[in-house]
Amino acid sequence: MKKLFLNLKNVLLILVCFSIFQANADELFNKGKEVFLGAGNCAACHMLSDAGSNAMVGPNLNEIRPDIQRIIMAVRNGIGVMPAMEGILTDDEIEAVAHYTSVAAEQ
Ligand code: HEC
């Protein structure tokens, strides 16, 4: 009986940890979406259905489905006519917008 109780406690603990992890991931996603639509101005140039943007200046992100590293490179350093955002966005904002874009582009 005691053993069963301990097991239940472990299951509960795992559930709690998992929901905290989930909440953090959602928070990063939401923050990234804010940057995409706001400070990063990504929506002005890129199509991404989750963000409701239809701009065609840069590539359609739903089509190229960039991974996190590719997004971070483009956002930090700029590419072609896309301006570098290092110094304009904080590291946290760049991380958030890269997380958001890679997840949203997969959908
Ligand atoms: C002024 C318009 C503009 C803005 C603002 C802009 N982009 Fe871009 N982006 C472009 C263009 C144009 C390209 C294609 C550049 C090329 O390949 O020559 C591009 C390319 C990319 C690529 C592909 C990079 C690669 O390796 O091919 C990604 C990912 C990307 N942008 C993400 C973003 C994100 C995220 C933001 C917001 C933080 C953003 N862009 C803001 C115009 C823009």
Q: Which domains does the chain have, with CATH numbers?
A: 28-106 (1.10.760.10)
C-alpha span between 48 and 62 (Å, rounded): 6
Confidence tier at 54 by pLDDT (50, 70, 90): very high
Q: pTM for the complete prediction? A: 0.87
What is the predicted pLDDT for the residue at 2? 67
Provide mean pLDDT across the span 62-68: 97
Query: Hey, what's the torsion of the CAs at 80, 81, 87, 89, to 10 degrees?
Result: -100
What is the predicted pLDDT for the residue at 23? 79
Name the closest-CA residue to atom 13, ligand 1.
Answer: 58
What is the predicted pLDDT for the residue at 1? 62
Q: How far is the CA of 45 from the centre of ligand 1 (A)?
A: 7
Provide mean pLDDT across the span 80-99: 97
Provide mean pLDDT across the span 19-28: 84
